[in-house]
Amino acid sequence: MANSQCISDATKMAKPRAFPSTGFEIISPDQQVEEERLPFYRREDYYPMRIGEVVRDRYQVVAKLGYGTSSTVWLSRDLREKTYWVLKVYINTLKHNQEFKVYKHLAEIAQKLPDELGSENVRRIQDSFQMQGPDGRHDVLVMKPLGMNLHSDNLLIALTSDAILSKVEENEINTPSPRKQIGDTIIYVSQYVLSGAGALTISDFGQARIGKEQSGNAMPVPYRAPEVILGMPWGPSVDNWSVGLLAWDMLEKETLFRVYDHESADKNDACHLAAMTALLGPPPPEFLERSEETQKYWDENV
């Protein structure tokens, strides 16, 4: 009988908490905040999440953690398992969810190679589903919360306990986040989980590719390999370039390369390649022959 009681207690759903409806800073409707400041932002593309909302009769949203051009990120408390999960809620205009595709691919690899070296340093999804919003359907990924790394948005730090997440939730109860309301949409100011003492974890695979040969732009601009800038076919070796630059950034005060021109991609590419040449010397002739784009930046006397 005691064992049955224990099982019953373990599976009993926790009650959702009540979050304050007053006591927070109200931001003027004329002031742009959070995702509103992103290029090409449209309010109707984003799911109008509310703090305190219970998703799928299970995940209660307790804080906003961040935003991007294709999603917003929320901390939730699992009322069934009594633990915390991150909900990444995508815009409803995303026709091809590359990140979800990559996560599924990584999950298949993890099943085939469970002991693969470094697998614990790659973020995984716990669950996925769709939500119906007022203007369309939204993909949602459920993931383990991670702490932020000040050096990179894609390299996060695993948390060793839920203590800091509980603190984030209590902050939202005791000191509610500033917010603005436009119609039925509330835009919250994010809280940031800055600490973590666990393993470095690779995350955010929206720009990741599957396969040995690729083409087109990829990678954050300062970490972009010359093959990518010059429109050459590229493969896994460009990751070696990015990892090397990331390691430099983590160890040194100044970056090797940066965004040089925010208005013109062509001018930025020219400055970026010039900085590479100044540091490494001119590229070998066989490299220049791989793309006609190289003629824009180097002449035959290289």
Contact 59, 108 (CB under 8 A): no
Buried-state track 157-170, b at ≥16 Cβ within 10 A, e below 16: bbbeeeebbeebbe
180 is in an annotated binding site: no
Rounded distance, CA 279 to CA 13, Å?
A: 59
Outline where DSSP puts E strands in the chain: 54-55, 59-67, 71-78, 83-90, 125-133, 136-143, 146-149, 152-158, 179-182, 185-188, 200-202
Residue 42, number of CB atoms within 10 A of its CB: 13
Show the tokens assigned to 55: 């998703």
Rounded distance, CA 88 to CA 79, Å?
A: 18
Q: What are phi and psi of 228, to 5 degrees?
A: -70, -45
Rounded distance, CA 209 to CA 236, Å?
A: 9
In the annotated binding site for ATP, the residues are 88
In the annotated binding site, the residues are 88
